[in-house]
Amino acid sequence: MASREATTGRNSGSATDFFGLFRAGDLAVRYPEVPALLAGLDGLEMIRAGQLLSRLDPAAVLSAHPGTKTIRVAITGHGEVAQLQPALTAELARHGLLARSVVAPFDSYIFDLADPASRLYADRPDITICLLDATVVFDEVPVPWCPEDVRRVFSEKLRTFEQIAATFAMSGHGTLVLNTMPLPYQSAAQLVDYRSRAALGVLWREGNAELLRLMESNPALVVLDLEPMAEDVRLTDQRLRVYASAPFTTELTANYAREIGHLASGLAGQGRKCLVLDLDGTIWDGVLGEDGVDGIAISDSYRGQAFQTFQQIIKQLGARGVLLAVVSKNEASVVREALRDRPDMTLREEDFVRIVANWRPKHENLAEIAQALNLGLDSFVFVDDSPYECGLVRRELPAVAVICVDGDPALHAGRLLRDGWFSTRDSTDEDRGRTARYRDELVRKDFLDSFESIEDYLRELQIVVRVRSAESGDVPRLSQLTLRTNQFNLTTRRMQQSEVSALLQDPGWMVLAINASDRFGDKGLVGAIFARRQADVIYIDNFVLSCRVFSRGIEQGCLAALLDHAIASGVTAVFGEYRPTAKNGIVGDLYPRYGFRPVPAATIGDKTARFRHDLREPLERPVHLQMEEDFSGGLSS
């Protein structure tokens, strides 16, 4: 059996290093090192680390590292919910986020969430967690009871949750998180006949299904399904439940916190996008260079079947928008032969956006893939069966999430999926076509290499840009662009779907969707401009553009179209803002580059720079672009 260190891919000494930092009083000063140290911890160590991190003064961390991303979290619910705070603090820190959390008093969730004037709404948390368990229902069921009593109370609670979601949509900020309520065995066992237990099981699952369906009509709501999270852990600890009103076991609480951590990371624009895989011992059994294409095992043995299942899961992730790539120490031609010719191979060449097989260090290949795809290293997850390779990548590229799958291949899938690195609030059509679009992008780069000048390349690329008033069907993708775009994001204002929808309904705002295509195909909805009008002035609140369309003049063409529309609408000036972050320096000079002049610093708050275009001279449109414009939903005067 593999050692725990090999199984988890944990860093030797991580626990010692982290707790040593705490004892030395250096956690705040060295907070940027915390995510890498926490990556090596698990279980009770993460809970203990969270307890120590909860003692940190966020102001001390921000004083030492002003650029640290903070996230405000409110925790309320039925019963005692304070047990979630340490685990959640650690999980947020693992993603480089600094928690500012508030824990509500015992069983106060209705007061907190049903009243728009409550303290919780006034605090405007980024994530509001309402922790629920089965006692929400059973505490109000009479004794003795029958399944019909449970149905009645559950239905009443569903109406309450629906009202809470509606109130949050109107008065809340950020994202509200509810969860399903698994049925405890101790509750079902009180019905001595199996027919009644079956009736209880049916109505309980129907109630949870209705709870999950609340997401369909509430864009600011996320409902976590707790049943899969409790698959390998105990649901409740009766002593903790009875004596401390704690709804879940420590293990399930840790799983819940891990899920919230990934949700928060996505909302902060830090979602992972690319899964990079080793081959030998990772997606098939055997060594390709020694066993040959016909000698590796995929489906013709019990271990081979485990690898085939793992490949099926990877292919499913790719179909949902996760970019797949290979980094392997092998001969490239043999790797492609295996992926192409083995009839039982689930993963094929076309499933991967990049296949790199050579004898160079893997961290160098990973860095080059990131550069080729124009993605930050914090967008990558690397999977390998070698503790050495995992340790090397973790050390040289600390931003990359590393998963070591050394050991039993039947456990590979669990190790990949347990962390939910690719979880996102919604999946869009653009996500599901992402692999093909990125692969086309690499073809474009090869096409570029065939030209002597960038001007010739852009002209032959035949780019068509459509700038149009956004529609309701664009809302999920527009929200996603603000949440996940970090480089070409002028102010990095993250917007939930409900916030985008509200702007579409506001006549004082213009939300422009930017679509692009070229000779290689349709690139979909790749950008957005959010602008508002006050009197005879337009303010560009934000401008975002996908990294897939950088350096093609699209931003200039879109700005030119907006400025021309402003002139035609009687506007006298257009203002734009730039708020610097660690990742958006590429657009720091965007507005000055296109004729905007800086506004005197005395009129600007924070680090935000403001620029003004007086519209005296129109902005030229790049000659290689074919522009299509539709401002039918333009700003009212």
Task: Give the model's confidence band at 151: pLDDT under 50 very low, under 70 low, under 90 confident, else very high.
Answer: very high
88 pLDDT exceeds 60? yes
pLDDT of residue 605: 52
pLDDT of residue 556: 94
Q: What is the C-alpha to C-alpha distance for residues 213 and 161, in angstroms, rounded to an integer? A: 11
Helices 387-396, 362-373: axis angle to 10 degrees equals 50
pLDDT of residue 8: 37
Q: What is the C-alpha to C-alpha distance for residues 179 and 133, in angstroms, rounded to an integer? A: 8
Q: How many CB atoms lie within 10 A of CB 129?
A: 30
Strand partners, 325: 276, 354
Going along the chain from its start, the domains and CATH numbers come out as: 4-267 (3.40.50.1110), 274-417 (3.40.50.1000), 444-630 (3.40.630.30)
Task: Give the model's confidence band at 636: pLDDT under 50 very low, under 70 low, under 90 confident, else very high.
Answer: low
* Range with the poorest average pLDDT among 190-199, 224-233, 627-636: 627-636
Residue-averaged pLDDT of the chain: 88
Token readout for 526 is 């790749």
214 pLDDT exceeds 60? yes
Looking at residues 437-466, what average pLDDT do you find?
79
* Range with the poorest average pLDDT among 161-170, 374-383, 452-461, 618-627: 452-461
Are the beta carbons of 74 and 120 closer than 8 angstroms? yes
Are the beta carbons of 419 and 413 closer than 8 angstroms? no
Are the beta carbons of 180 and 226 closer than 8 angstroms? yes
340-343: Cβ within 8 A, 24+ apart: 341/293, 342/293, 342/294, 342/296, 342/298
Looking at residues 607-628, what average pLDDT do you find?
91
pLDDT of residue 421: 86
Q: How many CB atoms lie within 10 A of CB 408?
A: 12
Task: Give the model's confidence band at 480: pLDDT under 50 very low, under 70 low, under 90 confident, else very high.
Answer: confident
pLDDT of residue 11: 43
pLDDT of residue 6: 36
Q: What is the C-alpha to C-alpha distance for residues 529 and 191, in angstroms, rounded to an integer? A: 59
pLDDT tens, 168-194?
998 988 999 999 999 999 999 999 999
For residue 351, give the 3-state DSSP assignment: helix
Task: Give the model's confidence band at 3: pLDDT under 50 very low, under 70 low, under 90 confident, else very high.
Answer: very low
Neighbouring C-alpha atoms within 13 Å toward the C-beta of 402? 33
503 pLDDT exceeds 60? yes
Q: What is the C-alpha to C-alpha distance for residues 124 and 198, in angstroms, rounded to an integer? A: 43
- 3-class SS string, 108-153: CHHHHHHCCCCHHHHHCCCEEEEECCCHHHHCCCCCCCCHHHHHHH
Q: Strand 127-131's sheet: what is its strand order?
A: 97-103, 69-77, 127-131, 175-179, 221-224
Looking at residues 218-246, what average pLDDT do you find?
83
Q: What is the C-alpha to C-alpha distance for residues 582 and 577, in angstroms, rounded to an integer? A: 16
Task: Please report which helix (H) or strand (E) contains residue 258, including its range.
Answer: helix 250-267
Token readout for 55 is 């003692």
Percent of the chain with pLDDT over 70: 94
Q: What is the C-alpha to C-alpha distance for residues 438 and 434, in angstroms, rounded to an integer? A: 6
Q: What is the C-alpha to C-alpha distance for residues 577 and 540, in angstroms, rounded to an integer? A: 7
Q: What is the C-alpha to C-alpha distance for residues 40 and 296, in angstroms, rounded to an integer? A: 32
Distances (CA, A) of 204 to 198, 207, 210: 10, 5, 10
Looking at residues 495-517, what average pLDDT do you find?
91
Q: What is the C-alpha to C-alpha distance for residues 478 and 528, in angstroms, rounded to an integer? A: 7
Task: Give the model's confidence band at 396: pLDDT under 50 very low, under 70 low, under 90 confident, else very high.
Answer: very high
Task: Give the model's confidence band at 1: pLDDT under 50 very low, under 70 low, under 90 confident, else very high.
Answer: very low
Across 30-39, 244-253, 368-377, 537-546, the highest mean pLDDT is recorded for 537-546
Beta strand pairing call for 380-384 and 274-277? parallel
Looking at residues 260-268, what average pLDDT do you find?
88
Across 259-273, 291-305, 336-350, 595-609, the highest mean pLDDT is recorded for 336-350
Radius of gyration of the chain (CA): 26
* Range with the poorest average pLDDT among 18-22, 446-450, 536-540, 564-568: 446-450
86 pLDDT exceeds 80? yes
Please calculate the CA angle 508-511-515 and round it to the nearest 5 degrees.
160
- Residue among 331, 309, 218, 317 nearest 276 (CA): 317
Q: What is the C-alpha to C-alpha distance for residues 529 and 346, in angstroms, rounded to an integer? A: 41
pLDDT of residue 224: 96
pLDDT of residue 153: 97
Q: What is the C-alpha to C-alpha distance for residues 219 and 497, in angstroms, rounded to an integer? A: 6
635 pLDDT exceeds 90? no
Task: Give the model's confidence band at 602: pLDDT under 50 very low, under 70 low, under 90 confident, else very high.
Answer: very low
Handedness of CA 290, 291, 296, 297 (dihedral sign): negative
Rounded-to-10 torsion of CA 85, 90, 95, 97:
60
